[in-house]
Amino acid sequence: MKKYRPTSSSAQVEERENLLEQDFETTTINEKWVADITYIHTRRDGWCYLASVLDLHTKKIEGYSFSKSMTTPLVLRVFTKLN
């Protein structure tokens, strides 16, 4: 199956600093988290989005949020649930 990669000629991606610099080793929980947004195609709603945060030490999903639209509140809900 071919991966879906949304494109738009008007879309601009702001590059961010790589804070981990490929160093995924940890010594304790909550030392390093990584986040991702996954595109999920559904029959009923079309494209939906899953934002998640993973603890690199435990390899456990610490929080997630699901939405029909990829917006800032989708990501903010993940971190709100973590507090």
Q: Total domain count for the chain?
A: 1
Residue 67 domain-assigned (yes or no): yes
Show pLDDT as tens, one digit a residue, over the chain (83 residues).
556 566 665 667 678 888 899 999 999 999 999 999 999 999 999 999 999 999 999 999 999 999 999 999 999 999 998 87
Residue 21 domain-assigned (yes or no): no
Answer for the pair 82, 65: CB distance below 8 angstroms, yes or no.
Answer: no
Distance CA 71, CA 26 (A): 31
Residues forming a β-bridge with 53: 35, 63
pTM: 0.75
Residue 10 domain-assigned (yes or no): no
Q: Which domain holds residue 60?
A: 33-72
Residue 56 domain-assigned (yes or no): yes
Residue 40 domain-assigned (yes or no): yes
